[in-house]
Protein backbone atom coordinates (compact mmCIF):
# COMPACT_ATOMS: atom_id res chain seq x y z
CA UNK A 1 0.00 0.00 0.00
CA UNK A 2 1.39 3.39 -0.96
CA UNK A 3 0.05 6.90 -0.73
CA UNK A 4 1.84 9.64 -2.61
CA UNK A 5 0.88 13.26 -2.10
CA UNK A 6 2.05 16.40 -3.86
CA UNK A 7 1.47 19.93 -2.73
CA UNK A 8 2.15 23.50 -3.68
CA UNK A 9 0.66 26.96 -3.68
CA UNK A 10 -0.20 28.68 -6.91
CA UNK A 11 -1.99 31.06 -9.12
CA UNK A 12 -3.79 29.80 -12.19
CA UNK A 13 -3.28 31.49 -15.54
CA UNK A 14 -5.13 30.02 -18.46
CA UNK A 15 -4.32 30.25 -22.13
CA UNK A 16 -6.80 28.46 -24.29
CA UNK A 17 -7.09 27.68 -27.96
CA UNK A 18 -9.91 25.85 -29.71
CA UNK A 19 -8.47 22.36 -29.61
CA UNK A 20 -5.67 22.38 -27.10
CA UNK A 21 -5.78 24.15 -23.77
CA UNK A 22 -2.68 24.63 -21.70
CA UNK A 23 -2.93 25.89 -18.14
CA UNK A 24 0.28 27.17 -16.58
CA UNK A 25 0.06 27.26 -12.80
CA UNK A 26 2.88 29.14 -11.08
CA UNK A 27 3.66 28.73 -7.40
CA UNK A 28 2.40 31.37 -4.94
CA UNK A 29 -0.78 31.88 -2.89
CA UNK A 30 -2.88 34.86 -3.92
CA UNK A 31 -4.44 37.18 -1.36
CA UNK A 32 -7.53 37.56 -3.54
CA UNK A 33 -11.05 36.33 -4.02
CA UNK A 34 -11.01 32.85 -5.56
CA UNK A 35 -13.59 32.19 -8.24
CA UNK A 36 -14.65 28.54 -8.29
CA UNK A 37 -16.61 27.05 -11.17
CA UNK A 38 -19.71 25.22 -9.89
CA UNK A 39 -21.76 24.82 -13.09
CA UNK A 40 -20.64 22.65 -15.99
CA UNK A 41 -19.72 24.35 -19.25
CA UNK A 42 -18.01 23.17 -22.40
CA UNK A 43 -14.71 23.52 -20.50
CA UNK A 44 -13.10 20.07 -20.13
CA UNK A 45 -13.66 18.22 -16.85
CA UNK A 46 -9.96 18.19 -16.03
CA UNK A 47 -9.30 21.89 -16.52
CA UNK A 48 -8.41 23.87 -13.36
CA UNK A 49 -11.62 25.01 -11.65
CA UNK A 50 -10.45 27.67 -9.17
CA UNK A 51 -8.79 30.97 -10.20
CA UNK A 52 -6.73 32.13 -8.41
CA UNK A 53 -5.84 29.87 -5.46
CA UNK A 54 -6.15 31.89 -2.26
CA UNK A 55 -5.42 30.63 1.25
CA UNK A 56 -8.89 29.01 1.52
CA UNK A 57 -9.04 27.32 -1.86
CA UNK A 58 -7.99 23.95 -3.25
CA UNK A 59 -8.03 22.25 -6.63
CA UNK A 60 -7.25 18.50 -6.71
CA UNK A 61 -6.60 15.94 -9.41
CA UNK A 62 -6.93 12.51 -7.84
CA UNK A 63 -5.94 9.10 -9.26
CA UNK A 64 -6.01 5.65 -7.71
CA UNK A 65 -5.85 1.99 -8.63
CA UNK A 66 -6.98 -0.89 -6.42
CA UNK A 67 -5.88 -4.41 -7.31
CA UNK A 68 -8.53 -6.71 -8.83
CA UNK A 69 -7.24 -9.36 -6.46
CA UNK A 70 -8.66 -8.62 -2.98
CA UNK A 71 -6.11 -10.92 -1.34
CA UNK A 72 -3.20 -8.75 -2.56
CA UNK A 73 -4.40 -5.50 -0.89
CA UNK A 74 -2.29 -3.58 -3.43
CA UNK A 75 -3.34 -0.04 -4.23
CA UNK A 76 -1.79 3.22 -5.30
CA UNK A 77 -3.05 6.77 -4.88
CA UNK A 78 -1.56 9.79 -6.62
CA UNK A 79 -2.97 13.21 -5.83
CA UNK A 80 -1.99 16.39 -7.64
CA UNK A 81 -3.21 19.41 -5.84
CA UNK A 82 -2.94 23.12 -5.77
CA UNK A 83 -3.72 24.66 -2.44
CA UNK A 84 -2.08 26.59 0.33
CA UNK A 85 0.77 24.99 2.23
CA UNK A 86 -1.02 25.74 5.49
CA UNK A 87 -4.00 23.64 4.45
CA UNK A 88 -2.09 20.48 3.53
CA UNK A 89 1.41 20.53 5.05
CA UNK A 90 2.84 17.43 3.36
CA UNK A 91 4.07 16.24 0.00
CA UNK A 92 6.60 16.94 -2.70
CA UNK A 93 6.64 20.60 -3.63
CA UNK A 94 6.42 21.80 -7.19
CA UNK A 95 7.80 25.05 -8.54
CA UNK A 96 4.91 25.31 -10.99
CA UNK A 97 2.51 23.08 -12.86
CA UNK A 98 1.18 22.58 -16.36
CA UNK A 99 -2.18 21.00 -17.15
CA UNK A 100 -2.81 20.20 -20.81
CA UNK A 101 -6.24 19.26 -22.18
CA UNK A 102 -6.74 17.75 -25.65
CA UNK A 103 -10.25 16.52 -26.33
CA UNK A 104 -11.00 13.92 -23.68
CA UNK A 105 -7.34 13.51 -22.82
CA UNK A 106 -5.56 15.43 -20.14
CA UNK A 107 -2.03 15.45 -18.85
CA UNK A 108 -0.37 17.29 -16.04
CA UNK A 109 3.17 17.97 -14.93
CA UNK A 110 4.08 19.31 -11.49
CA UNK A 111 7.48 20.80 -12.36
CA UNK A 112 10.35 20.01 -10.04
CA UNK A 113 8.64 17.03 -8.37
CA UNK A 114 9.18 14.54 -11.19
CA UNK A 115 5.48 13.67 -11.21
CA UNK A 116 3.30 13.88 -14.29
CA UNK A 117 0.02 12.13 -14.69
CA UNK A 118 1.19 10.26 -17.67
CA UNK A 119 4.51 9.24 -16.18
CA UNK A 120 6.29 9.23 -12.86
CA UNK A 121 9.98 9.71 -12.20
CA UNK A 122 10.54 11.20 -8.76
CA UNK A 123 13.91 10.25 -7.26
CA UNK A 124 13.30 12.50 -4.25
CA UNK A 125 10.56 10.15 -3.04
CA UNK A 126 12.05 7.02 -4.61
CA UNK A 127 9.29 6.39 -7.14
CA UNK A 128 9.44 5.78 -10.86
CA UNK A 129 7.38 3.98 -13.46
CA UNK A 130 3.93 4.30 -14.92
CA UNK A 131 0.24 3.88 -14.20
CA UNK A 132 -1.75 3.21 -17.35
CA UNK A 133 -5.53 3.56 -17.22
CA UNK A 134 -7.99 2.61 -19.97
CA UNK A 135 -11.37 4.08 -19.11
CA UNK A 136 -14.22 1.54 -19.02
CA UNK A 137 -17.09 3.66 -17.65
CA UNK A 138 -18.53 7.02 -18.81
CA UNK A 139 -17.57 10.22 -17.00
CA UNK A 140 -20.22 11.86 -14.84
CA UNK A 141 -21.06 14.88 -12.73
CA UNK A 142 -22.61 14.86 -9.22
CA UNK A 143 -26.18 14.59 -10.58
CA UNK A 144 -25.79 12.64 -13.80
CA UNK A 145 -24.10 12.36 -17.17
CA UNK A 146 -21.76 15.09 -18.42
CA UNK A 147 -23.86 17.85 -19.97
CA UNK A 148 -23.56 21.62 -19.88
CA UNK A 149 -25.42 23.72 -17.33
CA UNK A 150 -25.47 21.08 -14.56
CA UNK A 151 -24.31 21.58 -11.00
CA UNK A 152 -20.75 20.61 -10.17
CA UNK A 153 -21.34 20.71 -6.42
CA UNK A 154 -21.48 17.33 -4.71
CA UNK A 155 -21.87 19.17 -1.41
CA UNK A 156 -21.86 22.85 -0.40
CA UNK A 157 -18.88 24.56 -2.06
CA UNK A 158 -17.39 21.20 -3.05
CA UNK A 159 -16.90 20.93 -6.77
CA UNK A 160 -16.55 17.43 -8.18
CA UNK A 161 -16.12 15.96 -11.66
CA UNK A 162 -15.55 12.24 -12.10
CA UNK A 163 -13.73 11.95 -15.43
CA UNK A 164 -12.82 8.26 -14.99
CA UNK A 165 -15.19 6.30 -12.70
CA UNK A 166 -13.50 3.02 -13.63
CA UNK A 167 -10.56 2.00 -15.76
CA UNK A 168 -8.73 -1.19 -16.63
CA UNK A 169 -5.40 -0.24 -15.12
CA UNK A 170 -1.83 -1.47 -15.02
CA UNK A 171 0.49 -0.21 -12.31
CA UNK A 172 4.17 -0.63 -13.06
CA UNK A 173 6.17 1.21 -10.43
CA UNK A 174 9.52 0.88 -8.78
CA UNK A 175 9.50 2.18 -5.23
CA UNK A 176 12.94 2.68 -3.76
CA UNK A 177 14.23 -0.05 -6.06
CA UNK A 178 11.46 -2.59 -5.35
CA UNK A 179 9.02 -3.50 -8.12
CA UNK A 180 5.37 -2.73 -7.36
CA UNK A 181 3.27 -4.15 -10.17
CA UNK A 182 -0.41 -5.06 -10.33
CA UNK A 183 -3.58 -4.78 -12.39
CA UNK A 184 -6.83 -3.43 -11.12
CA UNK A 185 -9.67 -0.95 -11.10
CA UNK A 186 -8.47 2.60 -11.71
CA UNK A 187 -10.26 5.83 -10.94
CA UNK A 188 -9.76 9.54 -11.52
CA UNK A 189 -11.69 12.54 -10.33
CA UNK A 190 -11.06 16.09 -9.38
CA UNK A 191 -12.50 18.18 -6.56
CA UNK A 192 -12.14 21.82 -5.68
CA UNK A 193 -13.43 24.65 -3.56
CA UNK A 194 -13.04 28.34 -2.87
CA UNK A 195 -13.45 27.65 0.87
CA UNK A 196 -11.68 25.41 3.36
CA UNK A 197 -13.01 21.87 3.28
CA UNK A 198 -13.89 21.92 6.98
CA UNK A 199 -16.14 25.00 6.67
CA UNK A 200 -18.99 22.96 5.21
CA UNK A 201 -18.41 19.25 5.81
CA UNK A 202 -19.40 17.41 9.02
CA UNK A 203 -18.73 13.94 7.63
CA UNK A 204 -18.44 12.13 4.34
CA UNK A 205 -18.26 8.67 2.89
CA UNK A 206 -16.79 8.28 -0.59
CA UNK A 207 -15.60 5.29 -2.55
CA UNK A 208 -15.49 3.40 -5.79
CA UNK A 209 -15.06 -0.13 -6.94
CA UNK A 210 -15.92 -2.85 -9.36
CA UNK A 211 -18.64 -5.42 -8.73
CA UNK A 212 -18.48 -8.09 -11.41
CA UNK A 213 -19.36 -6.20 -14.62
CA UNK A 214 -20.52 -3.09 -12.71
CA UNK A 215 -18.57 0.06 -11.80
CA UNK A 216 -19.81 1.74 -8.64
CA UNK A 217 -19.03 5.22 -7.22
CA UNK A 218 -20.60 6.57 -4.04
CA UNK A 219 -20.73 9.83 -2.14
CA UNK A 220 -22.72 10.50 1.02
CA UNK A 221 -21.86 13.83 2.66
CA UNK A 222 -23.37 15.37 5.76
CA UNK A 223 -22.95 19.14 5.87
CA UNK A 224 -22.52 21.25 9.01
CA UNK A 225 -26.24 22.13 8.89
CA UNK A 226 -27.22 18.48 9.14
CA UNK A 227 -28.24 18.15 5.48
CA UNK A 228 -27.18 15.03 3.64
CA UNK A 229 -25.91 15.30 0.03
CA UNK A 230 -25.44 12.17 -2.06
CA UNK A 231 -24.23 11.08 -5.46
CA UNK A 232 -24.85 7.60 -6.86
CA UNK A 233 -23.24 6.08 -9.93
CA UNK A 234 -23.46 2.62 -11.44
CA UNK A 235 -22.25 1.71 -14.94
CA UNK A 236 -22.00 -1.46 -16.99
CA UNK A 237 -20.59 -2.15 -20.47
CA UNK A 238 -19.47 1.48 -20.76
CA UNK A 239 -23.05 2.74 -20.19
CA UNK A 240 -24.46 4.55 -17.19
CA UNK A 241 -27.04 2.41 -15.35
CA UNK A 242 -27.84 5.11 -12.83
CA UNK A 243 -26.25 8.48 -12.00
CA UNK A 244 -28.16 10.67 -9.59
CA UNK A 245 -27.96 13.08 -6.68
CA UNK A 246 -31.60 12.58 -5.65
CA UNK A 247 -31.75 12.09 -1.89
CA UNK A 248 -33.10 8.54 -2.10
CA UNK A 249 -30.70 7.49 -4.88
CA UNK A 250 -28.14 6.11 -2.45
CA UNK A 251 -27.45 5.80 1.22
CA UNK A 252 -24.09 4.91 2.73
CA UNK A 253 -23.85 3.92 6.38
CA UNK A 254 -21.41 2.04 8.55
CA UNK A 255 -22.36 -1.62 8.91
CA UNK A 256 -23.37 -0.55 12.41
CA UNK A 257 -25.90 2.07 11.26
CA UNK A 258 -26.49 3.35 14.79
CA UNK A 259 -23.10 5.09 14.52
CA UNK A 260 -24.51 7.94 12.41
CA UNK A 261 -23.67 10.72 12.16
CA UNK A 262 -20.06 9.78 12.89
CA UNK A 263 -17.97 11.97 15.14
CA UNK A 264 -14.23 12.12 15.73
CA UNK A 265 -14.58 9.51 18.47
CA UNK A 266 -16.51 7.02 16.31
CA UNK A 267 -14.14 4.08 15.84
CA UNK A 268 -12.92 3.25 12.34
CA UNK A 269 -15.41 1.00 10.57
CA UNK A 270 -15.11 -2.68 9.80
CA UNK A 271 -17.45 -2.12 6.87
CA UNK A 272 -20.26 -0.18 5.23
CA UNK A 273 -23.71 -0.93 3.90
CA UNK A 274 -24.69 0.85 0.69
CA UNK A 275 -28.22 0.90 -0.66
CA UNK A 276 -28.51 2.06 -4.27
CA UNK A 277 -31.79 2.88 -6.03
CA UNK A 278 -32.13 1.06 -9.37
CA UNK A 279 -35.61 2.38 -10.10
CA UNK A 280 -39.11 0.90 -9.71
CA UNK A 281 -38.60 -0.01 -6.09
CA UNK A 282 -35.57 -2.19 -6.71
CA UNK A 283 -32.36 -1.50 -4.84
CA UNK A 284 -28.86 -2.89 -4.98
CA UNK A 285 -27.62 -3.63 -1.46
CA UNK A 286 -23.84 -3.63 -1.23
CA UNK A 287 -21.74 -4.83 1.68
CA UNK A 288 -18.30 -3.24 1.82
CA UNK A 289 -15.76 -4.96 4.03
CA UNK A 290 -12.57 -3.22 5.22
CA UNK A 291 -9.46 -5.27 4.44
CA UNK A 292 -6.66 -2.72 4.72
CA UNK A 293 -6.05 0.73 6.14
CA UNK A 294 -4.39 3.23 3.77
CA UNK A 295 -3.96 6.11 6.20
CA UNK A 296 -1.99 7.06 9.28
CA UNK A 297 -4.08 7.02 12.50
CA UNK A 298 -6.20 10.19 12.39
CA UNK A 299 -9.55 10.77 14.11
CA UNK A 300 -10.79 12.94 11.22
CA UNK A 301 -9.74 10.95 8.16
CA UNK A 302 -9.32 7.34 7.11
CA UNK A 303 -8.89 5.61 3.76
CA UNK A 304 -9.29 1.90 3.11
CA UNK A 305 -9.19 -0.91 0.57
CA UNK A 306 -11.73 -3.69 0.83
CA UNK A 307 -13.94 -6.23 -0.84
CA UNK A 308 -17.62 -5.92 -1.66
CA UNK A 309 -20.56 -8.15 -2.34
CA UNK A 310 -23.98 -7.13 -3.65
CA UNK A 311 -27.49 -8.39 -4.22
CA UNK A 312 -30.63 -6.77 -5.56
CA UNK A 313 -33.77 -6.44 -3.49
CA UNK A 314 -36.97 -6.33 -5.51
CA UNK A 315 -40.00 -4.12 -4.80
CA UNK A 316 -42.75 -5.36 -2.46
CA UNK A 317 -44.66 -8.18 -4.16
CA UNK A 318 -41.81 -9.33 -6.39
CA UNK A 319 -40.58 -12.84 -5.71
CA UNK A 320 -37.21 -12.53 -4.05
CA UNK A 321 -34.34 -10.28 -5.01
CA UNK A 322 -32.85 -10.04 -8.45
CA UNK A 323 -34.66 -12.97 -10.04
CA UNK A 324 -35.80 -10.98 -13.05
CA UNK A 325 -39.54 -11.27 -12.20
CA UNK A 326 -39.99 -7.57 -11.86
CA UNK A 327 -38.47 -6.84 -15.24
CA UNK A 328 -41.23 -8.81 -16.97
CA UNK A 329 -44.36 -7.40 -15.39
CA UNK A 330 -43.67 -3.68 -15.38
CA UNK A 331 -43.08 -0.95 -17.87
CA UNK A 332 -39.32 -1.02 -17.99
CA UNK A 333 -37.29 2.19 -18.12
CA UNK A 334 -34.13 1.88 -20.23
CA UNK A 335 -31.72 2.12 -17.33
CA UNK A 336 -33.54 -0.74 -15.66
CA UNK A 337 -33.02 -3.08 -18.60
CA UNK A 338 -29.29 -2.78 -18.19
CA UNK A 339 -29.52 -4.21 -14.72
CA UNK A 340 -32.35 -6.67 -14.48
CA UNK A 341 -32.62 -8.68 -17.59
CA UNK A 342 -32.75 -12.38 -16.74
CA UNK A 343 -29.17 -12.81 -17.79
CA UNK A 344 -27.93 -10.00 -15.55
CA UNK A 345 -29.96 -11.02 -12.53
CA UNK A 346 -28.03 -14.26 -12.41
CA UNK A 347 -24.84 -12.23 -12.36
CA UNK A 348 -26.23 -9.88 -9.72
CA UNK A 349 -26.88 -12.67 -7.25
CA UNK A 350 -23.21 -13.55 -7.16
CA UNK A 351 -21.62 -10.12 -7.47
CA UNK A 352 -18.44 -9.42 -5.63
CA UNK A 353 -15.41 -7.23 -6.12
CA UNK A 354 -12.92 -4.72 -4.77
CA UNK A 355 -13.19 -1.15 -3.56
CA UNK A 356 -11.15 1.82 -2.41
CA UNK A 357 -12.90 4.30 -0.13
CA UNK A 358 -12.46 7.00 2.46
CA UNK A 359 -14.30 8.93 5.14
CA UNK A 360 -14.03 12.21 6.97
CA UNK A 361 -15.58 12.76 10.39
CA UNK A 362 -15.08 16.31 11.52
CA UNK A 363 -17.61 16.66 14.36
CA UNK A 364 -15.47 17.09 17.46
CA UNK A 365 -17.23 14.81 19.97
C1 LIG B 1 -4.87 40.54 2.22
O2 LIG B 1 -5.58 41.64 1.70
C3 LIG B 1 -6.31 42.36 2.71
C4 LIG B 1 -7.17 43.42 2.02
O5 LIG B 1 -6.44 44.04 1.00
C6 LIG B 1 -5.33 42.95 3.74
O7 LIG B 1 -6.05 43.62 4.76
C8 LIG B 1 -4.53 41.81 4.36
O9 LIG B 1 -3.54 42.32 5.22
C10 LIG B 1 -3.85 40.97 3.26
N11 LIG B 1 -3.25 39.77 3.86
C12 LIG B 1 -2.02 39.38 3.57
C13 LIG B 1 -1.56 38.12 4.25
O14 LIG B 1 -1.31 39.96 2.77
C1 LIG C 1 -10.88 33.12 -1.02
O2 LIG C 1 -11.95 33.39 -1.89
C3 LIG C 1 -13.21 32.96 -1.39
C4 LIG C 1 -14.25 33.16 -2.47
O5 LIG C 1 -14.44 34.48 -2.76
C6 LIG C 1 -13.55 33.74 -0.11
O7 LIG C 1 -14.79 33.28 0.40
C8 LIG C 1 -12.46 33.50 0.91
O9 LIG C 1 -12.69 34.25 2.05
C10 LIG C 1 -11.10 33.86 0.29
N11 LIG C 1 -10.07 33.46 1.25
C12 LIG C 1 -9.10 34.29 1.63
C13 LIG C 1 -8.13 33.74 2.62
O14 LIG C 1 -8.99 35.42 1.17
C1 LIG D 1 -6.38 10.89 -26.83
O2 LIG D 1 -5.47 9.83 -26.59
C3 LIG D 1 -5.70 8.69 -27.42
C4 LIG D 1 -4.79 7.58 -26.96
O5 LIG D 1 -3.46 8.04 -26.84
C6 LIG D 1 -5.48 9.08 -28.88
O7 LIG D 1 -5.77 7.98 -29.72
C8 LIG D 1 -6.43 10.22 -29.23
O9 LIG D 1 -6.17 10.67 -30.54
C10 LIG D 1 -6.25 11.38 -28.27
N11 LIG D 1 -7.27 12.39 -28.51
C12 LIG D 1 -6.95 13.67 -28.71
C13 LIG D 1 -8.10 14.58 -28.99
O14 LIG D 1 -5.79 14.07 -28.63
C1 LIG E 1 12.00 5.83 -0.19
O2 LIG E 1 13.03 5.87 0.79
C3 LIG E 1 13.22 7.16 1.37
C4 LIG E 1 14.45 7.08 2.28
O5 LIG E 1 14.31 6.01 3.16
C6 LIG E 1 11.97 7.55 2.12
O7 LIG E 1 12.11 8.84 2.67
C8 LIG E 1 10.81 7.56 1.16
O9 LIG E 1 9.59 7.83 1.86
C10 LIG E 1 10.67 6.21 0.45
N11 LIG E 1 9.64 6.33 -0.55
C12 LIG E 1 8.49 5.66 -0.49
C13 LIG E 1 7.50 5.96 -1.57
O14 LIG E 1 8.23 4.83 0.37
C1 LIG F 1 -10.85 14.93 -3.03
O2 LIG F 1 -11.38 13.68 -3.36
C3 LIG F 1 -10.58 12.57 -3.02
C4 LIG F 1 -11.24 11.35 -3.47
O5 LIG F 1 -12.01 11.58 -4.59
C6 LIG F 1 -10.38 12.51 -1.52
O7 LIG F 1 -9.48 11.47 -1.19
C8 LIG F 1 -9.79 13.81 -1.08
O9 LIG F 1 -9.72 13.81 0.32
C10 LIG F 1 -10.64 14.97 -1.53
N11 LIG F 1 -9.98 16.19 -1.12
C12 LIG F 1 -10.62 17.19 -0.61
C13 LIG F 1 -9.78 18.33 -0.16
O14 LIG F 1 -11.82 17.21 -0.52
C1 LIG G 1 -23.23 -0.43 17.31
O2 LIG G 1 -22.77 0.70 17.99
C3 LIG G 1 -23.42 0.93 19.22
C4 LIG G 1 -22.94 2.26 19.76
O5 LIG G 1 -21.53 2.25 19.92
C6 LIG G 1 -23.10 -0.23 20.15
O7 LIG G 1 -23.78 -0.04 21.39
C8 LIG G 1 -23.57 -1.53 19.50
O9 LIG G 1 -23.16 -2.62 20.31
C10 LIG G 1 -22.97 -1.68 18.13
N11 LIG G 1 -23.55 -2.84 17.47
C12 LIG G 1 -22.81 -3.75 16.87
C13 LIG G 1 -23.57 -4.86 16.22
O14 LIG G 1 -21.58 -3.72 16.85
C1 LIG H 1 -14.56 -10.39 1.74
O2 LIG H 1 -13.71 -11.51 1.60
C3 LIG H 1 -13.76 -12.42 2.70
C4 LIG H 1 -12.68 -13.46 2.48
O5 LIG H 1 -12.83 -14.04 1.22
C6 LIG H 1 -15.15 -13.03 2.78
O7 LIG H 1 -15.24 -13.91 3.88
C8 LIG H 1 -16.16 -11.91 2.97
O9 LIG H 1 -17.47 -12.43 2.91
C10 LIG H 1 -16.01 -10.86 1.88
N11 LIG H 1 -16.86 -9.74 2.24
C12 LIG H 1 -17.60 -9.10 1.36
C13 LIG H 1 -18.44 -7.98 1.89
O14 LIG H 1 -17.59 -9.36 0.19
Sign of CA dihedral 147, 25, 83, 131: positive
Whether residue 12 is predicted with pLDDT greater than 50 in this model: the reply is: no
Whether the CB-CB separation of 324 and 314 falls below 8 Å is answered with no
**b or e along 329-353 (b: 16 or more beta carbons within 10 Å of the residue's beta carbon)?**
ebeeeebbebbbeeebbebbeebeb
Mean per-residue pLDDT over the chain, rounded: 78
SS3 for 41? Answer: coil
Please report, for residues 67, 165, 349, the alpha-carbon distance to residue 312 in angstroms, rounded to integers and kept in the order given.
25, 21, 7
Nearest CA to ligand 4 atom 7: 125
Q: Establish whether residue 258 lines the binding site of ligand 6, counting it when its CB lies within 6 angstroms of any ligand atom.
A: yes
**From atom 9 of ligand 4, which residue's Cα is the shortest distance away?**
125
Mean pLDDT along residues 31-35: 88
Entry pTM: 0.83
- Please return the burial class of 312, using the count of CB atoms within 10 Å of its CB with bins 0-12, 13-18 and 19+: buried
Most distant CA pair in the chain, distance: 62
Ligand 4 atom closest to the Cα of residue 176 is: 1
pLDDT digits (tens, 9 = 90+) for 169-222: 888 877 778 888 889 999 989 999 999 888 999 999 999 999 999 999 999 999
The residue whose CB lies within 8 Å of the most ligand 3 atoms, and thus the one to mutate among 21, 46, 102, 106, is 102
Closest to 94 measured CA to CA, from 187, 27, 188, 3: 27
| Dihedral over alpha carbons 49, 229, 295, 197 (to 10 degrees) | 50
The C-alpha atoms of residue 280 and residue 312 are separated, in whole angstroms, by: 12
Distance 123 CA to ligand 4 centre (A): 9
151-173 confidence digits (pLDDT tens): 999 999 999 999 889 998 888 87
Amino acid sequence: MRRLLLLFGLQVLASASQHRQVFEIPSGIQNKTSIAQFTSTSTPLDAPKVHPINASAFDWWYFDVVSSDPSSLASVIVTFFTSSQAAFPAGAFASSATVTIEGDNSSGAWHGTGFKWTRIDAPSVGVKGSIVMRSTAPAHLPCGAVVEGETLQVGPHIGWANGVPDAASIVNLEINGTAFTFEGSGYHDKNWSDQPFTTHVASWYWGHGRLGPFSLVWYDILDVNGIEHVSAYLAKDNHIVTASCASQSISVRLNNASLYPPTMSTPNPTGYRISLDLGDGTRMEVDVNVLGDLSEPNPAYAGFVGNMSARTVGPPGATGGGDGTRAENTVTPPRWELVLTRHDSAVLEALDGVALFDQFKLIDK
